A and B are shown apart, each in its own frame.
Chain A
């Protein structure tokens, strides 16, 4: 059972991740009354990119060329940290939530360095915005993780998701606050509306797309896959820590699939219903989320 969970954790993360943004696009098109692309479209994009030539903007250094590999490697390592169905086959990488935050920070740093290496205005405007939002997003993320760590008394993701299973946890107000706060984190970290718009390449609006603008071919494929895997990581963590799940392995797995699908649908709905926010308004939203986590913590410590 544990081995199966481990296999789903890694192979699922590697192979199924592009399905998530694909599903969101399809659902969004449906909600907007369009006939959208198939959920498998990201796979076709990856295949197309994998065959194309690379581009080497001048003057760049090894930092720019290595960046996609390091980003993808750090994202794969992050996949090892996120357990499926409260089970971990004991990878030597542990399951710490803060290490996960660190690996995602490494991704952000490497992409920012690569955008400085090109000196491209589009890449730099993206990374400047990304890093500004990350200040508030990391505080909020850690706050939401503290709330999820309260019942377990540990930042081990396996223990945290175990403590969040069952129905008793839902009588704790802290858990509700945590779920709302983490929903904001998911919006920021996956780069979805109303925070970022993944469909546009307009310099006025884009954040994460700007960072990838100079890349082509396999480099771009690695980065696109990493962005999809980021969806996987955050949606699975959201489903495991903050959405209802219970029972044995099979039931847990069904809960996970339903949870992730529901989250995709919610993201698609949010993208349809919400216009994009002004970039400089987002920190206020995230700071509001931080206050929510504080209220949640008070309710737990008082109760």
Chain B
């Protein structure tokens, strides 16, 4: 038994006003006009619920697995997936689990979903990615020009044909402080060492994609589009140069970096805009916090 992506929906909260004296200079590098920010009384569960509510009712009713990818959970415990089960009024004989993963989280989530279906544990998975980094990024932190709050909901179903296939992963924990939420004077704050993350991305993403293609005996021309994590304009432009490929999809200008949701959001938008269609092969690659990286292939 194999698995396939059935549908993807997402929810983005209101636009954040990014105007500042340096905005033009910042925009030239980030490629981001708007980031998104949730209200004070909203959190990852609320955003996830709004994304799930966009899915067709009959699709969500008999979900037997919830995978909730987040790094900004409502509580340290219990897990967000349990809270979402109740909020969506899903059945109680259900497998629910949280994954503490960031920008590579969608690929890790897909690997768990695919394994659950292949093993026969479940038949229909709700993969939710939801984060609210804004709660840890204060007004003075320039990362507000990059990161957006947002959530996505993906339904993965069993399939007779293999439509999610060939996973590959990479982890470098020696750089775990490069993107971190840690206590500063007793307050948990987000920080990112841009040069570390940039170097990791520029070196490891092209290298791992090339290794992946070799390992699975595929040429880049096999894929209709490449969906990379929408980290920032400068990163996507550099990866396009390094991979020497014009099939990399860019969808960041009005959305920002929504961490684990960026890949499903860009796939959903590409589909709506007619850039991809049924039976197209897509290469997905998420990378970032960890530092970690995941690659997989999807047939629509």
> A and B: partners?
no
Residues of chain B whose beta carbon lies under 8 Å from any beta carbon of chain A? none
Residues on A facing B (Cβ under 8 Å): none
